[in-house]
Amino acid sequence: GESAERQRLSERFGRVVDNWYAIMSRTKRLTAFTRSYSQAAVIFPYVLVAPAYFADKIQLGGMMQTGSAFDSVQTALSFFVSIYRTMAEWQAVVARLDGFEMAIASARADATGPGSIVAVTSAGSNSIDLRQLLIRLPNGTPLVAADDFSIHSHERILVTGPSGAGKSTLFRAIAGVWPFGSGSVAVPAKTTLMMLPQRPYFPVGPLQDAIAYPAPGGAFSAGRVNDALTSVGLPLLTERLDEEAHWNRMLSLGEQQRLGLARALLHAPQYLFLDEATASLDETSEAALYRLLEGKLPDTTIVSIGHRSTLTAFHQRNVALVREGDRFALQNRGENVSVKS
């Protein structure tokens, strides 16, 4: 695949290289003009008055005064010639900042405009309520509909559905990071939520800080971090807490998912959303980790996205995204009689 990759990279970076050559060509022409102009301006007044000097019509001092006066006038009149490069750089910076500001304003308008999902803080409630929620794609296409759906405290809910149905997007809407759509998501006041995607994010730095994220470094003692790592099956990492690395590249996806669950154990959120957070593990390891979460986080509401039928045993309620016309609807599939522990 080397030749194919080389061609693809050439296509992607070809415009960058062409732009660099265009900048160099423009810089060369600009430098040639400005330098030539500056050098010519030095000798130009002396060329003009030299005949008068050699004809003894003016003295040497007069010729020098003429050169000095011409230099003053030339400096004043050539302001834009000498400042052109700085003005061009300033204009490019302003254009980039203006585009950045417009992008921020557009995103803010999408998140707070009339056609967006409203995040509501509900006082005195112990459940997350979805009311007349319709999640759309950025182009306006309907994706997921959920009306009068509640996630009650201490529940274990399994969300299933075909790939591309919008399960992850539903989680993003609940988290408040997906504004496209209508309806509202009511979250209890002072409630802590944690989202664990299939590929967790770990900042570059010491392992202990990467696990503690989004808490600041040092928020959890080394003993607590070691206990969490051992519990999720990563005892060998306890000796590397101070090692700085790009952990998303250093660890396998399965190890990253175990590390994400260790983060959940440390933070102990009131609501934990697992977006296929154990999909890269074998079924035996996955079952062990779910039993671990149930034992270590008894007061945490867990909502999982998964495709394996074995996950049903670890959840009290099953809900599914079912196709209804041009969108998927969130429907209850019933409660499990028994849950493994």
Are residues 21 and 128 both part of a single domain? Answer: no
Q: 221 in a domain, yes or no?
A: yes
What are 156-206's pLDDT values in tens digits? Answer: 999 999 998 999 999 999 998 898 999 999 999 889 999 999 999 999 999
> Is residue 285 in some structural domain?
yes
Residues 71 and 193 in one domain: no
Same domain, 277 and 193: yes
CA distances from 294 to 127, 177, 271, 298, 326 (A): 19, 27, 13, 5, 37
**Measuring CA to CA, which residue among 136, 212, 248, 211 is closest to residue 181?**
136
pLDDT at 238: 93
**Domain assignment of residue 22, given as a range:** 2-112
Digit-coded pLDDT (tens) for 28-52 = 888 888 778 777 878 888 888 888 8
206 assigned to some structural domain: yes
Same domain, 86 and 180: no
Tens digit of pLDDT at every position of the chain (341 positions): 888 888 888 888 888 888 889 989 988 888 888 778 777 878 888 888 888 888 888 888 888 888 888 888 877 777 777 787 788 889 989 999 999 999 998 877 776 667 788 888 888 788 999 999 999 998 889 999 998 899 999 999 999 999 989 999 999 999 988 989 999 999 998 899 999 999 999 999 999 999 999 998 888 999 999 999 999 999 999 999 999 999 999 999 999 999 999 999 999 999 999 999 999 999 999 999 999 999 999 999 999 999 888 999 999 999 999 999 999 999 987 666 444 44
Query: Alpha-carbon distance 335 to 338, whole Å?
Result: 9
**Of the candidates 59, 80, 112, which is a domain's last residue?**
112
* pLDDT at res. 169: 94
What does the alpha-carbon distance between residue 190 and residue 208 come to, in Å, rounded to a whole number? 26
Rounded Cα distance between 22 and 3, Å, is: 27
Residue that is last in its domain, among 90, 112, 134: 112
Answer whether residue 92 is part of any domain: yes
Report the relative pairing of strands 142-146 and 271-275 from DSSP bridges.
unpaired
Say which residues have a Cβ less than 8 Å from residue 151's Cβ, sequence separation at least 6.
127, 128, 129, 157, 271, 301, 303
Burial (Cβ within 10 Å: 0-12, 13-18, ≥19) of residue 67: middle
Please tell me whether residues 21 and 162 are part of one structural domain: no
How far, CA to CA in Å, does 326 sit from each of 134, 224, 323, 330, 333?
Answer: 12, 48, 8, 14, 21
Residue 340 lies in a domain: no
**DSSP state letter for 60:** H
Domain endpoint, select from 85, 112, 139: 112
Q: Is residue 31 part of a domain?
A: yes
User: The whole model's pTM is what?
Assistant: 0.73
Residues 321 and 199 occupy one common structural domain: yes
CATH of the domain at 163: 3.40.50.300
Domain presence at residue 176? yes
- What's 309's DSSP letter? G
Residue 301 lies in a domain: yes
Q: What's the length of the chain?
A: 341
How many structural domains does the chain have? Answer: 2
